[in-house]
Amino acid sequence: MDLGISGKTALVCASSKGLGRGCAEALAEAGVNLVMNARGAEALEATAAEIREAHGVTVTTVAADIVSEEGRAKVLAAAGDVDILVTNAGGPPPGLWSDWEREDFLKALDANMLTPIALMTAVIPGMIDRGWGRVVNITSQSVKAPIPALGLSNAARTGLTGYVAGTARQVAPDGVVVNNLLPGIHATDRAESLDGGVSKAQGISIEAARANRQATIPARRYGTRQEFGQTCAFLCSQHAGFIVGQNILIDGGATNATI
């Protein structure tokens, strides 16, 4: 399917690996030029080189911490006019409700709520002026069904979801479409970290921890960055203009909900 976005420019955050990389790869396959951001310059440059070679699009890299004001300013200055924004940031650590102090919540809110909002605030006015834009926020299945050990993530990402619910409907008349993608467990470093934590806590191998988690997923496997990225690319396409303010689960059926 021709997504109708060849020649557009996308800013994809945290895109050197994992789900962000999957989104960058799928957009590049559709002919979209990229501005890729991550904190680690070496991994970022390696991924960018692979995407340039595979798809022949222009790829600009900006190694910076997108959560910091300085990092955002650096990325946005390099990006220029952004047609597509994909926000993404690693989740805060798991734990118990009794583990977290005010500072822990502020860090989670800064990374997983306030940073995406700041990026949207920066790029949506230009999208409105041009009469077209797409925003996809990578959040979590936890905004549909909270995960007990991920209270910091539950709180911050649900806050972003509420913000998007109103904002998406305000900017839709101007051709700007904003949606959220809610991943379940995918084969990424995040899954490795979570499985490692379970392995340590339960005294089992990481392979056993992974097998136990996969058994709770109806698809009986973890998702891949490639299939996640293709879903993101479709939401950024010309065909998705009537999908507004939605929270789309991509979790192999793990969230047990009717709606």
| Contact residues for 207 (Cβ-Cβ < 8 A; gap 6+) | none
Residue 114, Cβ neighbours under 10 Å: how many? 17
Angle, alpha carbons 163-32-166 (nearest 5°) = 10
* Local confidence band at 197 (pLDDT 50, 70, 90 cut-offs): confident
pLDDT in tens, 229-252: 999 999 999 999 999 999 999 999
Can you give the pLDDT at residue 38?
Answer: 97
Among 71-85, 87-101, 214-228, name the one with the lowest average pLDDT. Answer: 87-101
Q: pTM for this structure?
A: 0.94
Whether 192 shows a pLDDT value over 90: the answer reads no
Stretch 252-256: mean pLDDT, rounded?
94
Whether 94 shows a pLDDT value over 90: the answer reads no
pLDDT in tens, 110-120: 999 999 999 99
CB 38 within 8 A of CB 85: no
Residue 27 amino acid letter: L
Q: Which of the two residues, 220 and 147, has the higher pLDDT score?
A: 220
DSSP for 132-182, written as a single string:
-EEEEEE--GGGTS--GGGHHHHHHHHHHHHHHHHHHHHHGGGTEEEEEEE
Can you give the pLDDT at residue 193?
Answer: 84
Q: Which of 175, 26, 182 is closest to 91 using CA atoms? A: 182
What CA dihedral angle connects 216, 218, 220 and 225, to 10 degrees?
-100
Instruction: For residues 217 and 223, give the distance between their C-alpha atoms in angstroms, rounded to a whole number.
Output: 10
pLDDT in tens, 6-27: 999 999 999 999 999 999 999 9
Average of per-residue pLDDT values in the chain: 96
Pairing status of strand 9-12 against strand 84-87: parallel
